[in-house]
Structure 1
């Protein structure tokens, strides 16, 4: 399990308006895949919302970040208890690659690469509108992945909002203005 912790868990700006974040998770790929496409599993670390894993199908992501950890931490001002976003599946390669729209403006791809007993999950979030959103998205993906990794290991994750606020400050220092 030590090898699962050795990589840099922070996202990086791969090109303007694109964030890439990687995480090595306990496999196999089919296990990680189920946490991407199965709403009951996805809501445990990211967002609820039934998804048909078929290119062209619409679905809705429903965030209830207060429910991801116990305790949730203090929700920052301006964030609602529930947030919703309409998306569309663009590409599906079971246990390997999932791509969907991020609302009307962006696109997110999930690529799974087996590495022994682990899986390297690479998330690429494209067309992020500005630096402020880049900080929020970077901290968001990072915290959501921390929760997924903890749950896959059977560990208790850090309170969501406390971790998100800490990570947002970290990303503010790491991503040039």
Structure 2
């Protein structure tokens, strides 16, 4: 992985049903167990995305609170699949109806994360993709000790047009 924003950018592709698949690929020299910990342990996730309270493991239900979302009291969430340290699939119910898949592999001495979300259409896609990019840059900072992503407004000004070119 390089520091180029293009290398960290999510790729959006159309689905046959009109939905959109959003995929981010990130990698680090850290061991897979360390990356898994950064994705799942509240002591680490609080620094880049938020915390989860509830049952752990496949089928577990609980509440996910995003640290950087104003007034977020938490959202219900289900852990659809949990296969440490390789795969985590999360589902948020209505009104979001989001399913996020996080897959970790080891390739050439690096741990690779493939983040996938399939959305039913294009509504909100630019904001969703920009948001996940921002959070994944936060994960990168958690793992590397590098700089955190800029504040949201600055980040959107820099990267928002990449995901939503018609954004004014």
TM-score of the superposed pair, with normalisation by structure 1: 0.78
**2:91 corresponds to:** 101
Alpha-carbon deviations, 1:48-94, whole Å to 9, x = none? 123543111102111121xxxxxxxxxxxxx7343521110011111
- Does the 8 A contact of 1:110 with 1:122 survive in 2? yes
Give the corresponding residue for 1:45: 48
Contact 1:27 1:114 in 2 (8 A): no
User: For the residues of structure 2 that align with 1:51 and 1:167, how far apart are their CA atoms?
Assistant: 34
Unaligned runs of 5+ in 2: none
TM-score by structure 2 length? 0.82
Tell me how large the CA RMSD over aligned residues is. 2.2
2:10 alignment counterpart: 11
Q: 1:151–1:50: structure 2 CA closer, same or farther, 3 Å change rule?
A: same
Please give the alpha-carbon distance, in whole angstroms, between the structure 1 residues aligned to 2:156 and 2:50. Answer: 15
- Contact preservation (8 Å) 1:38, 1:50: no
Contact 1:37 1:51 in 2 (8 A): no
Distance 1:159 1:39, change over 3 A: same
| 1:74-113 paired onto structure 2 within 5 Å | 80-82=70-72, 84-104=74-94, 105-113=97-105
